[in-house]
Structure 1
Amino acid sequence: MTMAETQFAAHDHDEALESFVDKWRARWPEWAVAQVFVPAAQRPIALAWASLLQELTDAAWGGSDARPGEAKLAWWGEELQGWALGRRRHPLGAALQRQPAPWAQLASALPALRESRERPRDRADAVAALQPFARAVAATEAVLFEAPFEPAIPAVTAGLLHARLAQMGESAVPLGLLAVAGDHGPRRAWNGELLAHWPALAGARPRRIWSALARQRLSRGDAGLPLPPWATLLTAWRSAR
């Protein structure tokens, strides 16, 4: 490969990486403001990591047909196992694969994430379904951001439940809340229940900020609606202290 071809391939790879990061930014525009409270050296890793989590949860929970997502998760399982062995194919691996994180553990937790697509009976069931994946996420963040592991698990779980509600809407609501009356009654009730049981901020600074932003969205009554800049700034500042 000539130098020009190498440079062209690298440019294409950078563009592919940015396309995945931009997908996450589009869902979390607050990050443009909130990222100033994250150390500069951690920002590229935080962006790539958040983008990877979105790719995984989108595969698990997206679409009316579960089969395409199941195939994607199977591919990701192979990819993450490859990361553990020093190999990578996906553009996000350029930012993440060389980090000494437990990629094989994350791969092993993907079947639990796949199964979490099923509607839970109640909050306890929803939390239990996500525990293997939440533990793997917390373990990975402990390495990526040099942060405690165990205290972050509730915050990771809450963030996943928020993401599931934002993505799946009423399909994410537990069976026990489906009888709530009124327009969007079950979804509003589940939003309130998540908010009432929201854990204390814990973990690395990116996780604390993501958790605080998700909580503020819930407090405004819409898990998928971004916060205005002034609310983002105040929320991120408080959670980063």
Structure 2
Amino acid sequence: MNIETASNQDALDSFIAKWRQRWPEWSLAEVFVPAGQRATVLAWAALLQELGDAAWGGRDPRPGEAKLAWWAEELGGWSRGARRHPLGIDLQRLPAGWDTLAAALPALQASRERPGDHAEAFALLEPFATAAAEVELRLFGAGLDRAQDPAPGAVRASRDAIAACLLQARFFHEGDGHVPLAIFARAGEGEPTAIWAGQLRQRWPMAPAATLPRRLWTALARARLGLAEPGRALKPWAVLAKAWRAARN
């Protein structure tokens, strides 16, 4: 391994480590993922986290807008065989519709705005979640050639699961900007962020996602919403139980 290759791998490992820091449960849940897919699964998870952090992080949206503009160029380059970001080491070589994901980034940025209610929270994320579902199905869909268009039903199920996981990921960020306005109208019923966590968990999409990694992530994300702090990790016994059930679906 030459110096440049080693440096790229170190940079990739740092992004993976940042994702693992938020999701320590994955060290247990990933045993249900085929060994040959695990590196790609981690890179994809880290990419979605980077995009979400750019869209929602900080009090000033402008740095995030600039990051997403850079990512739009980067993902477009992946479709043409070019790569700059280390996450592309495992992802760029796969023909998964990166240009479609790039085109959906403005919708992810727009989801930073506070939604009116539960339905609008999902609707704001729908364009990006749909593009992400199509990529995810090409990466991990069983029996699907990456050149094929995923089945509409599979896209819908994965889209809803991805949108739900993205809404749960907002709890990692400071403040309550992701809590719908309708929650604040329920004055006296409790802390708005906790009410939103409970509502999101109660109305979680029931159709299982079409890929194994998403089913695992969905199970973990929904379970965290049942904790007093939705950003806190689950107990190991809970991780294994929920991951086992998700893997069987």
SS in 1 for 2:173: helix
Aligned twin of 2:145: none
SS in 1 for 2:141: coil
Rounded to whole Å, the distance in 2 between the matches of 1:88 and 1:180 is 48
Rounded to whole Å, the distance in 1 between the matches of 2:18 and 2:179 is 25
The alpha carbon displacement at 1:116 in A equals 0.5
Equivalent runs, 1:32-43 vs 2, <5 Å: 32-43=27-38
Rounded to whole Å, the distance in 1 between the matches of 2:43 and 2:189 is 37
Rounded to whole Å, the distance in 1 between the matches of 2:130 and 2:5 is 34
Aligned twin of 1:150: 156
Note if 1:238 corresponds to 2:245. Answer: yes
Note if 1:225 corresponds to 2:217. Answer: no
Aligned twin of 1:31: 26
Aligned twin of 2:78: 83
CA contact (8 A) 1:25 1:31 kept: yes
| Cα deviation code 1:160-219 (max 9, x no counterpart) | 111123324422101111244469611111011101111122221000000000111012
Aligned twin of 1:69: 64
CA contact (8 A) 2:141 2:210 kept: no
SS in 2 for 1:98: coil
Structure 1 residues 156 and 39 mapped into 2: Cα distance closer, same or farther (>3 Å)? same
Aligned twin of 1:3: none
Structure 2 unaligned segments of length 5 or more: list them: 143-153
Aligned twin of 2:216: 209
Note if 1:185 corresponds to 2:180. Answer: no
SS in 2 for 1:160: helix
Note if 1:173 corresponds to 2:179. Answer: yes
* RMSD of aligned Cα (Å): 1.4
Aligned residue identity for 2:92: Q
CA contact (8 A) 2:55 2:112 kept: yes
CA contact (8 A) 2:157 2:210 kept: yes
SS in 2 for 1:172: coil
User: Given the two structures, how large is their TM-score scaled by the length of structure 2?
Assistant: 0.91
Residue range with higher mean Cα deviation, 8-17 or 181-190: 181-190
Rounded to whole Å, the distance in 2 between the matches of 1:151 and 1:181 is 34
Structure whose residues are more often helix by fraction: 1
Rounded to whole Å, the distance in 1 between the matches of 2:49 and 2:89 is 17
Aligned twin of 2:149: none
Percent of pairs identical after alignment? 56
CA contact (8 A) 2:71 2:102 kept: yes
CA contact (8 A) 1:179 1:186 kept: no
Rounded to whole Å, the distance in 2 between the matches of 1:85 and 1:194 is 38
Rounded to whole Å, the distance in 2 between the matches of 1:92 and 1:15 is 11
Structure 1 unaligned segments of length 5 or more: list them: 1-5
Rounded to whole Å, the distance in 2 between the matches of 1:130 and 1:168 is 19
SS in 2 for 1:170: coil
Structure 1 residues 10 and 183 mapped into 2: Cα distance closer, same or farther (>3 Å)? farther
Rounded to whole Å, the distance in 2 between the matches of 1:142 and 1:212 is 18
Rounded to whole Å, the distance in 2 between the matches of 1:225 and 1:216 is 10
Aligned twin of 2:169: 163
Aligned twin of 2:113: 118
Tell me the number of residue pairs that the alignment of Structure 1 and Structure 2 aligns.
236
Residue range with higher mean Cα deviation, 119-128 or 172-181: 172-181
The alpha carbon displacement at 1:230 in A equals 1.1
Rounded to whole Å, the distance in 1 between the matches of 2:213 and 2:156 is 16
Instruction: Give the alignment partner of residue 197 of structure 1, picking from 168, 183, 203.
Output: 203
